[in-house]
Chain A
């Protein structure tokens, strides 16, 4: 069974030269089917049926209802607000992330001293549990917190996290801070692939530092920028922990609700998995379209 075919032998059996590979890959394959493939189809099934939770072993009819769940969801003002909030989040988070991470990665890339100290500082928020950092930010941005004390009379009223106009921007600021290290890492890898000669010839042509950044660095990392845009959009669509904890469940009054928070509230708390699945599908379609648009836009410009 395990005897290997010689290099010179041209014949290759149907099951491959090392059929034991099937056995090696099997646990992973089973895992993928159980945790990804089956639930994916199940999610689509739930979204198109009138589905309710039952105790294990009990079966109740789940009639096909066509697009009813989607109509319910799209006429629900809370759902529309959640999608709008995600839009507000992305409008702040995406540009801030792209600009800051590219600028910091460029500054970090030029053979400076103490690189590892800077790296530790930049990556540590990304590696740390959101629950623990949300705890810290909550205290910093609370009514009588440090940020408001520093701002004094300039402090917003109502305070950051209980202000319907500022709740989502504060979350966007938090997530930018938390995730930036990861995007810096991506840009650093991309910067190392830009040929040094490009910078040298630009410098001999008399380009200023700003011109070199705009005309050599920015085009040089374009594929990474597309990746950063797509990852940032996916991240924005996945927000749960931050509105759940930082603004106490998407408050004030739904101003920072997100689709995933609604999936949790409707699907699991209120026991309506069918409408929750419909929200999930709409969200995935929206993310897909946005990602497509982002990569197209970045290719053309």
Chain B
């Protein structure tokens, strides 16, 4: 019995390690290639000892203003985070803890819109934002469809619901306003959930390509995902050794998220995300 258990364990590690290597390899290729004069295409030179350079970053920077694009990504993401934290917390708290007219209607609406696919809304939203509101090539237009992350509102509601009722009653008897209860009682109690939600919300706009791609024609307004995609699909074909520059751009876009995730990954647990998605 004992030896049998051990062989099973051995296979388990082999399977997981092989899978992990398959998952990690493109990242390794990206990081090494970003700092190589000419990224390799042969397995024999996958562990280069020479040819290190930072020239790829200046090469891509000369074609698509890396810092400006990063700044646009950051403004876009910050706008979504602010909207989600401020209005999402308010809505989540109201749905979980307050008794008001229209509560059940709001809840039903929230569940229903999670089933509405973006591909159907793409054209009308494009017409609305660029033609009706005149928000093409603006941060506001980029942020608008993502301004309050519904998944985040949902997670906030679930976490506020799980708190004991007595805490809220005590605060109300002490005469605290609902805004004050939210700020000083409810939010501090759900801080770990807040980290998860912030991380999930950050990733959305940071990685988003389709929407900002549709509404930004002005290159100085484009987030990095859009300007890098334009480089890959248009400029790279006419550039001599573009591979290193592509990998440098890819690494610049990827690494803020990878680093954030590695720092906060202990908050990113299966049960929390699972409960959020499954309801």
CB within 8 Å of B: which residues of A? 2, 4, 7, 12, 14-22, 24-25, 27-29, 31-32, 34-40, 42-43, 46, 53-56, 100, 103-104, 107-108, 110, 112, 116-125, 127-140, 144-146, 149-150, 177, 180-181, 185-186, 188-190, 192, 209, 224, 227, 234, 237-238, 240-241, 244-245, 248-249, 259-260, 263-264, 267-268, 273, 276-277, 280-281, 283-284, 287
CB within 8 Å of A: which residues of B? 8-9, 12-13, 15-16, 19-20, 22-24, 26-27, 29-30, 33, 39-43, 87-88, 90-91, 93-95, 98-103, 106, 109-110, 113, 116-128, 131-132, 134, 144-145, 147-148, 150, 153, 169, 172, 177-179, 203, 206-207, 209-210, 214, 225-226, 228-229, 232-233, 243, 246-247, 249-251, 253-254, 257-258, 261-262, 265-266, 268, 270-271, 273-275, 277-278
Known: A132-B249, A132-B254, A277-B120. 8 other contacts (CB 8 A): A20-B179, A27-B90, A54-B131, A124-B27, A129-B225, A136-B247, A139-B246, A281-B120
B203 A131 Cβ-Cβ under 8 A: no
* A50–chain B nearest beta-carbon distance, Å: 14
Using Cβ atoms and an 8 Å threshold, which residues of chain A touch B169? 7
* A116–chain B nearest beta-carbon distance, Å: 7
B94 A248 Cβ-Cβ under 8 A: no
Using Cβ atoms and an 8 Å threshold, which residues of chain A touch B113? 32, 36-37
Q: Which residue of A lies closest to B145 (CB)?
A: A35
Chain A interface helix/strand/loop/mixed:
helix
Cross-chain contact of A264 among B90, B178, B214 (Cβ < 8 A): B214
Using Cβ atoms and an 8 Å threshold, which residues of chain B touch A124? 23-24, 27, 258, 261
B27 A104 Cβ-Cβ under 8 A: no
Using Cβ atoms and an 8 Å threshold, which residues of chain B touch A54? 131
Cross-chain contact of B101 among A22, A35, A139 (Cβ < 8 A): A22
Using Cβ atoms and an 8 Å threshold, which residues of chain B touch A287? 117
B262 A22 Cβ-Cβ under 8 A: no
B278 A192 Cβ-Cβ under 8 A: no
